[in-house]
């Protein structure tokens, strides 16, 4: 339970400080360090001339190397720390960069502010930093929908999941999870280059996020004003999502806000026909982003409180 306290410390430090731009300019960020390693392995091992089966095997090996190195680094750092409350605090400080609590809030709030003011151009620019869909095609509802979906999904991937694995295993757990999640975001998609090589990264990420995604959804349900609608939407629509995990927090948020999410969207000029979550509800507006952020803040505060209680139990 000591690691639960460490994760509460990490959340508190990140909520207060985020990851300062001056620090990023000087040393980067652990995720960018992981990204360089993954890019190097991708360039060296993912050869277009190799058959798909060989590329898949290379992708499995590459993913395991990145994860193993991350877990080993976490174990080594943790083994050097003194026992007791000092260890809890130091583990929390070292885990702080791996919890994107403030960054997610600020990026989504940056979409809500110009959208409230009616500045569609600035809102499109802000939302393009957090989603991959074509921003030029988005109206107010499309911008709000993209921001709320990003908030819900990344609350799971960026905060709840790393904290969950960190609470269980400390630095090896949170570093291992961030390696898995970064692998998935970089090579786990179904492109021609990564269909085979990224297969293992995507499957491992699905397993790692199975519990955290559902936990995030239930946190949103608990903190929603429309609890019954949020629970009903989550249990009904979560499995309709293309992702086995992202549908849980997104459907819970859709029901909590009384809006419809997902649905058709445009990527690189092509329409992707995704099913609606909470179909039949109204389209979201700028005010719904703000309400979603309120639910998010309360959910993260509840999570931090539970971790602190577990640490003291």
pTM higher than the cut 0.75: yes
Phi first, then psi, for residue 158 (nearest 5°) are -95, -20
With beta carbons less than 8 A apart as the criterion, state whether 252 and 299 touch.
Answer: no
With beta carbons less than 8 A apart as the criterion, state whether 149 and 276 touch.
Answer: no
Q: Residue 227, class by beta-carbon neighbours within 10 Å (0-12 exposed, 13-18 middle, 19+ buried)? A: middle
List, for residues 57-69, the tens digit of each pLDDT value: 999 999 999 999 9
Predicted pLDDT at 63: 98
What average pLDDT does range 28-40 have in this prediction? 96
Query: What Cα–Cα distance (Å) separates residue 69 from each residue in 100, 155, 164, 179?
Result: 22, 26, 20, 9
List, for residues 287-305, the tens digit of each pLDDT value: 999 999 999 999 999 999 9
**Can you give the three-state secondary structure of the chain, one letter per residue?**
CHHHHHHHHHHHHHHHHCCCHHHHHHHCCHHHHHHHHHHHHHHHHCCCCCCHHHHHHHHHHHHHHHHHHHHHHHHHHHHCCCCCHHHHHHHHHHHHHHCCHHHHHHHHHHHHHHHHCCCHHHHHHHHCCCCCCCHHHCCHHHHHHHHHHHHHHHHHHHHHHHHHHHHHHCHHHHHHHHHHHHHHHHHCCCCCCCCCCCHHHHHHHHHHCHHHHHHHHHHHHHHCCCHHHHHHHHHHHHHHCCCCCCHHHHHHHHHHHCECEECCEEECCEEECCCEECCCCECCCHHHHHHHHHHHHHHHHHHHHHHHHHHHC
Residue % of the chain over a pLDDT of 70: 98
pLDDT at 206 over 90: yes
What average pLDDT does range 45-64 have in this prediction? 97
pLDDT at 266 over 80: no
Q: Which of 75, 74, 64, 76 is nearest to 37 (CA)?
A: 64
Structure-token match 């139990």, residue found: 313
d(CA 156, CA 211): 10
Predicted pLDDT at 265: 78
Predicted pLDDT at 271: 73
- Tell me the pLDDT band of 269, cut-offs 50, 70 and 90: low
């Amino acid at each position: 339970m000591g690691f639960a306290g460490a994760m509460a410390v990490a959340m508190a430090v990140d909520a207060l400080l985020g990851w300062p731009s001056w620090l990023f300019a000087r040393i980067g960020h652990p995720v960018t360090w992981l990204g360089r390693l993954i890019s190097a392995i991708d360039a060296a091992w993912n050869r277009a001339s190799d058959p798909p089966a060989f590329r898949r095997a290379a992708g499995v090996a590459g993913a395991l190397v990145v994860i193993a190195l991350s877990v080993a680094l976490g174990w080594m750092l943790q083994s050097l720390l003194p026992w007791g409350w000092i260890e809890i605090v130091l583990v929390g400080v070292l885990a702080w960069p791996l919890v994107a609590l403030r960054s997610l809030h600020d990026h989504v709030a940056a979409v809500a502010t110009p959208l409230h003011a009616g500045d569609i151009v600035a809102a499109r620019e802000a939302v393009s930093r957090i989603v991959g869909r074509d921003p030029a095609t988005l109206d107010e509802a499309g911008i709000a929908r993209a921001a709320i979906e990003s908030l819900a999904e990344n609350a799971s991937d960026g905060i709840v999941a790393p904290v969950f694995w960190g609470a269980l295993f400390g630095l090896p757990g949170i570093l291992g999870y961030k390696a898995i999640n970064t692998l998935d975001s970089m090579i786990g998609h179904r492109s021609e280059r990564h269909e085979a090589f990224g297969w293992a990264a995507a499957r491992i990420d699905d397993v790692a996020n199975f519990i955290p995604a559902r936990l995030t959804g239930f946190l949103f349900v608990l903190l929603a004003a429309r609890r019954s609608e949020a629970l009903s939407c989550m249990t009904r629509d979560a499995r309709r999502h293309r992702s086995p995990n992202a549908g849980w927090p997104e459907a819970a948020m859709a029901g909590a806000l009384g809006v419809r999410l997902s649905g058709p969207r445009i990527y690189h000029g092509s329409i992707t026909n995704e099913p609606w979550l909470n179909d039949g509800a109204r389209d979201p507006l700028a005010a719904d982003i703000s309400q979603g952020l309120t639910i998010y803040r309360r959910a993260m505060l509840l999570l931090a409180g539970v971790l602190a209680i577990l640490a003291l139990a």
